[in-house]
A and B are shown apart, each in its own frame.
Chain A
Amino acid sequence: MTFLQTLKMKAGFGTDGLTKRKTVTFGDTSAVADGRMWSILSVFVLSVAWYMGSALELVNPIFWPAPSAVWEQFTYISQEGYRNFSLWEHIWASLYRILVGFALGCLIGIPLGFAMGLSQLMRGWFDPIVEFFRPIPPLAFIPLVIIWSGIGERSKILLLFFAALWIMVIAARAGVGSVKLSKIHAAYSLGATRKQILYYVILPNSLPEIFTGMRVAMGICWGTVVAAELVAAESGVGFMIMAASKFLATDIVVLGVIIVGLIGYAIDILMRKLEAKLIPWKGKA
């Protein structure tokens, strides 16, 4: 490979030897490289457009602030904090709520999903409950949750628990359902007990589905926590956005939005890396 070709591969325009000789590429998704160069370019173009737009005063800063204004707010708030809390405390407040709510959702949801996958009684009993609550957006419960437990941590965590619970139940149930009967039979004729089959066969076999569920649940939780903080909170990134909007401080609003986007993105990358590490057999069996 020439230097230029190597560079092209690295930049994600990759066309390896065989792909280059393919006469049909539209619809052949294996011939679509990740196009990392285009990603870099798209971020770059958007940044320049933002910068130029504000430098040429094309947009009223109340509608959309200049990048410099957002950056200034970032440096100021990260040193001085905002509304009694430092920037990191706001971010941690949101993250903490997610982590606890999500963990509780997994802790209850996964065993419940397993029970529903393995027992007729449990499936029959819980099916109407799960199917009823699943399609309701967790935000619809905000008024109730506030009445029950005020605007403190508890209400947020309860809401996030609700958001994660149904997703994890369904993921775990699907995971149990995906186990091949021949694997179960093999384990029985190798002398395994029911408990051993659950722990050594059914549980690992359902990890791919459970992990997919976790990724979805994480995304939903992150969105829900910000929205919940918009309604009622004293800290958190969502609270920051809401409080700033009351003073038309669009620069802080945009700063909050960027933080939400970046952290959500980072969480998903982390989950994907974790998935590749923990479930290397996914999609290969």
Chain B
Amino acid sequence: MRRGSPFVYAALCGYSLLIVFPLIWLVYTSLKSTPEIFKSAWALPESPRWENFSAAWSGMSGEPGLGPYFWNSCTLTILSVFLILAIGAMATYALTRFPFRGAQFLMNTFVSGMVFPIFLAVVPLFLLLNQTRIPGIAPKGFVDHYAGLVAVYVAYSLPFTVFVLSGFFRALPNELSEAASIDGAGRWQTFARVMLPLARPGLIVAGVFNVIGIWNEYPLALVLITDRSRYTLPLGLAQITQRQQYSVDFGALFAALLLVLLPTMAIYLIFQRQVSEGLMAGAVKG
């Protein structure tokens, strides 16, 4: 390790401060009362107002809180990422380990999805989900229906997921699956018990990346969810922010923003390496 020039260090520290200080400010402002916030942007809270957080979670002055949206987002994210990994791994396994005619074409078709802008498809997608009706499951169509949003999330996450996983599946040795089949394991067993565990590092990169992506997703949810009770966290936060501009409790609003940020912060702290890997993988293809 060597020391850089003081100028370089000053610049690095300066920019880091620009990233970190707004977050520190957010943390201590979330513990202030609204009059305190109005009085001085810099001052620390006189005494921490923890009730800001309960107001943010369970609602303030007749407004809904973030609590229900938080659980909605949890359900959607867990369900979607589980399906993305399962379906993505299955497709990638087929395309990389069984070199049938057309496999490369299908792989390219999947991966090319990484460059399509979502907004090009958003109107037809909305109309498609709105008009697809299945009696018993979705009599009014798949808008405002989590099955619809989950399916859309899975479909739009497949290009990246297949791309990332293909690198890992290609690197797996042939001998292991052969050994497994000699030992009498069926095809599905070989896939699930032998090959999937070996591709675990890839599944973690894809999983972390998709969890963050879906937890944060806004435009598709905005278009496909109109019923307030089904809002995701980003939709809920956006709505509360836009309404609260004319309202009173800014302390609670800061607390709400912090609550939204905390899970991603935690994931980033644990999986920082996988996040950079995922970002790089997505970038270099493009």
A, B in one complex: no
